Amino acid sequence: MSDHNFDFQQGEVILIDKPYEWTSFDVVNHLRGFLRKVYGWKKLKVGHAGTLDPLATGLLIICTGRFTKKIDEYQGMDKVYVGSMHFGATTPSFDKETEIDNEFDISDVDIDNLSQVAKSFEGDIQQIPPKFSAIKIKGKRAFKYARQNEEVELKPRDVRINYFQVFNINLPNIDFAVSCSKGTYIRSLVRDLGEKMGKGAFLTELRRTQIGEFNVNNSLSLDDFKKTVMNNLENNSSA
C-alpha span between 142 and 154 (Å, rounded): 8
CB 48 within 8 A of CB 219: no
Dihedral sign of CA atoms 143, 145, 151, 157 in order: negative
Closest to 206 (Cα-Cα) out of 51, 90, 101, 27: 51
The one-letter code for the residue type at 99 is E
Beta bridge partners of 59: 17
**DSSP character for 153?**
P
C-alpha span between 168 and 104 (Å, rounded): 20
C-alpha span between 236 and 142 (Å, rounded): 47
Give the up-direction half-sphere exposure of residue 40: CA atoms within 13 A in the CB hemisphere. 1
C-alpha span between 38 and 214 (Å, rounded): 27
CB 178 within 8 A of CB 84: no
C-alpha span between 19 and 83 (Å, rounded): 15
CB 83 within 8 A of CB 203: yes
Active site residue ranges: 53
